[in-house]
Amino acid sequence: MAATATFKGAKNSRWRRFVLKPFVFVQFFFGIGLLAIALKQFRRKNTHPAQSPELIAKDWEILYYRIIPFRAISRAWGWLTNCHLPVWARQPLLGLYARTFNCNLEEAMDGNLDNYSCLAEFFRRKLKNGVRPIDPASAVVAPSDGTVLNFGRVTAGMMEQVKGVSYSLGEFLGPAYWRNGPEVQPASQTELEYEKSLLVNKDNDLFHCVIYLAPGDYHCFHSPVDWTVNFRRHFPGALLSVNPSIAKWVAGLFSLNERAVYVGRWKHGFFSMTPVGATNVGSIRVYADEKLRTNCTKWALPLPYYDRYMGPTESDSDEIPLHKGEIFGEFNLGSTIVLIFEAPKDFEFKIRPGEKIRMGQSLHVTGSNVNQEVAAH
């Protein structure tokens, strides 16, 4: 008995020395590091005006931030939100969530909270017919409810994430070989050359729009135009928060995060729509692409990105034709939609950064050539 107790004591001692102590040290230094970052940011904000370059996170800060196990946290949150709720708990728990995030239950197809078996089911609630009318006079409508983070013309291969913080078009979309099959992007290609390579009509320009979905927003996303999807690129990436405050701090945030880039054609040429993952987004689901699997472990998806061709010549898949306003997919919780598309040079947005928008409303001024063609049809 004494020998057994001694063996167990030695075993526990080894376990504490090789496992527990390092874990405690990691936690300690990790906490100290995060505190240092927070204090440094606080000092910067007191020293520099809003949108100052000094407020943008340094590379080491981003590296430290990415150490946080957001993917494991998000999977745990996904499991929790899918747990079955007893009927007696649904009204108080789901009602608290609805009040906290200003969810409009009058718009829901089913406004009775007792009928939602879990929180995730409530996240994905569908809306009544007619509460999100699709603007018939607009060629490009909002793909979802949300807040406009930024929009505008792509300039020299760069896009504004928020005012004063930009990210690379090439890093966000990856190599542009979806039209002609596998090719290696030239190493010497500049950002501007990459931008021009996307244009079908060289007289057009590229435009972009970023929409943030808050936790209380309607979580389904719809097609913003009439177009055909023929390619998908899935970046497993990270699951950093895409809250506007983080978007102002981490440059290139959307290029770091998990995302599914859908590429195709609309009447003016190149069109892409990208749902971007975020912390606590258990999954991105695209109804016409059941092969998409998001928020997996790095062991399951070790490569930087995964491509899927959807052209008519592919044996296992077909192109996805989508009509303006047609439902495309859904998030669990909230996240971001990024639109990148070519249009005539006189295309003009009629939205403002920070504006709350609703799915189906027009995103642009209706006097351009884009809408004149819609009227002609």
Q: Which residues are catalytic?
A: 145, 222, 335
| Distance in angstroms (rounded) separating the CA atoms of residues 287 and 355 | 28
Tell me how crowded residue 301 is: count the other CB atoms within 10 A of its CB.
18
Alpha carbon distance 48, 87 (integer Å): 52
DSSP 6-32: HHHHHHHHHHIIIIIHHHHHHHHHHHH
Cα–Cα distances in Å, from 206 out to 66, 159, 197, 223, 227?
31, 10, 11, 18, 16
The percent helix, strand, coil of the chain (3-state, each to 5) is: 35, 25, 45
DSSP state of 229: E
Task: Check: CB of residue 273 under 8 Å from CB of residue 324.
Answer: no
Q: Which residues contact 134 (CB under 8 A, 6 or more apart)?
A: 141, 324, 325, 360
CA 37, CA 58: separation in Å to the nearest integer?
A: 10
Question: Which SS3 state, helix, strand or coil, does residue 232 take?
Answer: strand
SS3 assignment, position 246: helix
Task: Give, in order, the Cα–Cα distances in Å from 359 to each of 93, 143, 220, 322.
Answer: 27, 5, 9, 15
